């Protein structure tokens, strides 16, 4: 295996350029989410929805996003769940301080909770979900251009392995049933980038 210092794994950037801006919605005085109910079906079929990832990565917002993807009562629409996943990935990749986000995400059991979400069969069969989960985990396990996030990345990777993440990603890969659509191929790619990032960590296994 290549030494981690010699092989920097890629950091994934998931975008939704084919989607349309989504207004910010206040969930509570200290929690702000950019999730919003989708328009009626007849309208949704004629427009594209976009996620702006403009919600600040406060502890409350991170917890709220994790709550949405882990809600057992199915109280949230797919649109809202996708927004929560987009927020998590955006914070891991684009926030002013990704390291601070990753530390908070770790403290809130984010790796365990996002893997648990993906292990739901209907979620694992959804390539959009697979793609965003893969992107989020990959960005959390990114060491940084100069290894500035190495300790955080190694801690995340170790938790990922402990929580059965390798097995989960392999199951997600098995759910790929063929096809060459870009979104589907990007989902498969995100699975293997996660595994590559994890296995490049020195002390994760």
Gyration radius of the chain over CA positions = 16
Higher pLDDT, 3 or 140: 140
Which of the 8 DSSP states describes residue 201? Answer: S
> What is the rounded CA–CA span in Å between residue 169 and residue 175?
10
Query: Domains of the chain by range and CATH?
Result: 25-199 (1.25.10)
Q: pLDDT tens for residues 15-59?
A: 444 332 333 333 333 443 333 333 333 333 333 445 555 788 999
Q: Can you tell me the distance from the alpha carbon of 178 to that of 184, in angstroms, rounded to the nearest whole number?
A: 9
Q: How far is CA 78 from the centre of its chain?
A: 15
CA 66 vs CA 20, 61, 84, 114: distances in Å: 23, 9, 7, 7
Which comes out higher in pLDDT, residue 83 or 204? 83
Q: Rounded to the nearest 5 degrees, what angle is found at the Cα of 164, between the Cα atoms of 131 and 138?
A: 35
Q: What is the pLDDT of residues 122-180, one digit of tens each?
A: 999 999 999 999 999 999 998 888 888 889 999 999 999 999 999 999 999 987 767 66
Give the Cβ contact number of residue 104 at 10 Å.
Answer: 18
Helix 127-140 and helix 165-174, axial crossing angle in degrees, nearest 10: 150
Structure tokens at 200: 């490049």
What does the pLDDT read at residue 155? 93
pLDDT digits (tens, 9 = 90+) for 99-128: 899 999 999 999 999 999 999 999 999 999
CB 134 within 8 A of CB 190: yes
């Amino acid at each position: 295996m290549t030494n981690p210092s010699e092989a920097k794994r890629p950091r994934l950037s998931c975008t939704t350029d084919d989607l349309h801006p989504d207004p910010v919605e206040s969930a509570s005085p200290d929690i702000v989410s950019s999730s919003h109910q989708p328009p009626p079906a007849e309208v949704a079929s004629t427009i594209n929805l976009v996620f702006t990832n403009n919600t600040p990565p406060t502890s409350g917002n991170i917890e709220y996003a994790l709550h949405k993807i882990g809600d057992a009562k199915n109280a949230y629409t797919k649109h809202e769940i996708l927004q929560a996943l987009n927020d998590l990935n955006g914070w891991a990749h684009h926030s002013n301080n990704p390291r601070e986000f990753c530390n908070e995400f770790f403290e809130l059991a984010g790796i365990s909770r996002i893997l648990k979400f993906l292990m739901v069969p209907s979620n694992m069969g959804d390539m959009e979900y697979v793609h965003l989960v893969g992107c989020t985990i990959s960005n959390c396990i990114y060491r940084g251009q100069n290894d500035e996030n190495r300790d955080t990345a190694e801690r995340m990777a170790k938790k990922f392995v402990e929580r059965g993440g390798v097995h989960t990603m392999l199951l997600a890969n098995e759910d790929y049933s063929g096809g060459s659509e870009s979104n589907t191929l990007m989902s498969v790619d995100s699975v293997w980038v996660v595994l590559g990032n994890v296995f490049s960590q020195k002390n994760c296994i």
